[in-house]
Amino acid sequence: MIVSHFSSGLPTPELVAETLQAALEKSSTDHANSVLLFLTPHFTSKVLSVLQVATRVSRCLQVSGCIVSGLLTDEASSQGRPACATLVFSGNHSFQTGSGPVCEYWLGNTPPQKLESTLGALISPQGGPAFPAWRSGRLSPTQQVCINLPGMQADGFISQGAQALTAPLPVSENYGQDLVALGSQRALPMLARELPVEWRALPDIPINRLAAGLVTGNPEDAIPQGRYRLLPIQGTNAVTQTVTLSESPPPHSWIFWAQMQPDHAERNLRHQLIHLQERSFDPLFGLGVCTRLRGLSLPDQENRDLALLRKTYPGMPFICIQADTVLSKSDEDQMAAYPFALALTVFNQA
């Protein structure tokens, strides 16, 4: 049996103990075979105490997980609160701690050079110190966690949540990551003109909600066919009128400007879930990574991603880790960043 449990409250080892005990009670067992445990940064100074409590309460040494920016589960989302979430594997179900490209799912903060599994998703904190990670009940010296799921089959997708502001235009001038011009237009003035009206009065361009869409193939129908990936914007320069992207666009590239748009994200996720249901199976559980800008329309409203996942797979335990950027393999077999995305993988017995 695989069950999840989510708790929010004071970031103490006692809260983790209560979370694990509740999951064991759901499983009607007094011990776990394996445990995935995720904590928000509020627990960082207490990790060693938490791991001692986790192995004792679960009666299991196979406890793996990491500190993450935020959590979205089948029960609730952290939304900035101290929170912990767990997936408890018992009965005939378990996972094994592994390393390297044989892993079916990778969890950590420092991405490996190459990830063989196309179903993997990575967490990227976008700079700063990496959060602690643990495997087999102990801190991981590499701050990475890799698990093998023997006997499982998996399927998944990446849902992008951006709306195009412009049609694709050829990159006519750039210096590495600094984009100077698209077609005959300077990059920064063009982007500024396309901003939503309510953003134009802001003192600074909200670059964390904007991206450059790098298209592949014929640019005329690349957007409706989804043949693009989004490049995060790292900065702008009013003097040179340039926009700095997360990577240098390849020669002869075509780019369009895009913004994070909750309605578009919801439609795209619904579309991806329908196709997943059509080609897949009834999953036992799910694991995912989503960016923190996804899902929320207004602070007092329900997370849209959570509502859709619940509706599509009622009763399915899942944990989705919130991060700054989702990283996964691109069609060109390279690691690519997706700034407004949700990557979901569902698992069942093979």
Residue 118 pLDDT greater than 90, yes or no = no
pLDDT at residue 279, as a whole number: 81
Mean pLDDT value of segment 121-127: 39
Mean pLDDT value of segment 31-49: 93
Burial status of residue 350 (CB atoms within 10 A of its CB: 0-12, 13-18, 19 or more): exposed
- Residue 120: pLDDT band by 50, 70, 90 thresholds? very low
Tokens of 127: 């700079």
- Residue 112: pLDDT band by 50, 70, 90 thresholds? very low
pLDDT at residue 38, as a whole number: 93
Q: C-alpha angle with apex 282: 71 to 285, nearest 5 degrees?
A: 25
- Residue 126: pLDDT band by 50, 70, 90 thresholds? very low
42-56, 205-219, 282-296, 324-338, range with the lowest pLDDT:
324-338
Residue 121 pLDDT greater than 90, yes or no = no
What interhelical angle do 47-58 and 13-27 show, nearest 10? 20
146-150, 234-238, 307-311, range with the lowest pLDDT:
146-150
Higher pLDDT, 47 or 127: 47
CA distance 106 to 36: 12
Mean pLDDT value of segment 218-228: 83
H or E stretch including 35? strand 34-39
Summary mean pLDDT of the chain: 82
CA distance 279 to 346: 12
Higher pLDDT, 25 or 335: 25
Residue 134 pLDDT greater than 50, yes or no = yes
pLDDT at residue 177, as a whole number: 94
pLDDT at residue 159, as a whole number: 83
pLDDT at residue 109, as a whole number: 42
23-27, 173-177, 195-199, range with the lowest pLDDT:
195-199
Residue 330 pLDDT greater than 80, yes or no = no
Boundaries of every domain in the chain = 2-159+266-349, 162-259
Higher pLDDT, 322 or 236: 236
- Residue 163: pLDDT band by 50, 70, 90 thresholds? confident
Higher pLDDT, 107 or 267: 267
Q: What is the pTM of this model?
A: 0.77
Mean pLDDT value of segment 234-253: 92
Closest CA to 109 of 71, 70, 143: 143
